[in-house]
Structure 1
């Protein structure tokens, strides 16, 4: 299937999940995130889930990192609607968040972090394939962002759904994942 077909299918699939299923699946994803080997990660870029899009709730993992992983700094992004790029800021208690036009909570300001400093990125997505290619919302924010990260930066997708066999229209600009975390566990692509 194409990215467009998969995007439509998995948006609908995600919207059909009951609140209970979303909570259970999110909790399973958080358990997998906590188990991940984070020991060498200094800067972890996370996403703040979009509630109206029924994204996996990773806030318990974010709280876990803040409370139990003092050696790891969290980083969040702010989108630029003009060129579909992102800039990134340390996610500290002092950071104030504002909602953008897509309903994403973003930092208003703060200490900026360059993409090349990031050791790992949690990538929100709808679905991935067995090769680590992913389907997001189609604006290309994450492809542009991940392209500027250092080669060793881990790209870790987070999805409610298991990988599909193959996305048929992957382009040279698409940045594949290294890992995918779903409610059933961790998939490694590297």
Structure 2
């Protein structure tokens, strides 16, 4: 059986076994796939995590920098996590925003402008594994499960993954959130949230138009 706890352990080991060069090359491929399928629009806010790069997390700075360079009317927001209650607050990230690492090594903004969940139109969701139905395995702390439940219904929830999906995560709960799409280095997987199943790459444009 493909259980979340087992997948989490296995994929953490696999990710940390990557070389820095391999992780950087795959992160660049993910950024190219993202901008090929999802074109941010003026007035939108793209929310992303900031990577702990020595843990071989996907380097989202390639996406952030391209938004700053090519989409000046699109905002970037990043979270600050409350490690006591498992909640997240969200802040505007600018090229001159000061960052400092929390005790988990996650870069977080200092003295940045807070943003409410209602302004967030697209979220890049971290994950370790995902399945063909659009379910994800995260780090197990529940930060993103709580956050994503607070978003407007039409906000895009887009996972990013170094690896392709597995067939099925077996211990999915009835209230587990289904992602709209997952970007991998090779392609974009999209999901029919109503039917909780896989769709085609071409559906990515439809998702963007609904945002």
8 Å contact from structure 2 (residues 27, 62) kept in 1 = no
Match of 1:34 in 2: 35
Provide, for residues 27-76 of structure 1, a one-character-per-residue CA deviation record: whole Å limited to 9, x for no partner. Answer: 21111122132244611101111112211112122111001101210000
Structure 2 alignment gaps of length 5 or more: 193-211
Pair 1:173–1:78, CA change in 2 (3 A): farther
1:106 aligns to what SS in structure 2? strand
Deviation at 1:95? 2.5
Query: Which of 156, 159, 171 pairs up with 1:157?
Result: 159
1:162 aligns to what SS in structure 2? coil
Does residue 60 (structure 1) correspond to residue 59 (structure 2)? The answer is no
* Aligned alpha-carbon RMSD (Å): 1.4
Match of 2:208 in 1: none
1:189 aligns to what SS in structure 2? strand
2:114 aligns to what SS in structure 1? coil
TM-score norm. by structure 2 comes to 0.85
8 Å contact from structure 1 (residues 44, 118) kept in 2 = yes
Report matched runs for 1:23-102 at 5 Å.
23-40=24-41, 42-102=44-104
1:4 aligns to what SS in structure 2? helix
2:157 aligns to what SS in structure 1? strand
Count of residues in Structure 1 that have an aligned counterpart in Structure 2: 190
- Provide the C-alpha distance between the structure 2 equivalents of 1:158 and 1:168, rounded to a whole number of angstroms: 21
Structure 1 alignment gaps of length 5 or more: none
8 Å contact from structure 2 (residues 180, 190) kept in 1 = yes
- Provide the C-alpha distance between the structure 2 equivalents of 1:25 and 1:39, rounded to a whole number of angstroms: 21
- Provide the C-alpha distance between the structure 2 equivalents of 1:124 and 1:39, rounded to a whole number of angstroms: 19
8 Å contact from structure 1 (residues 119, 154) kept in 2 = yes
Deviation at 1:150? 0.5
- Provide the C-alpha distance between the structure 2 equivalents of 1:121 and 1:48, rounded to a whole number of angstroms: 12
Deviation at 1:24? 1.9
- Provide the C-alpha distance between the structure 1 equivalents of 2:16 and 2:136, rounded to a whole number of angstroms: 19
8 Å contact from structure 1 (residues 128, 134) kept in 2 = yes
Deviation at 1:173? 4.2
Match of 1:8 in 2: 9
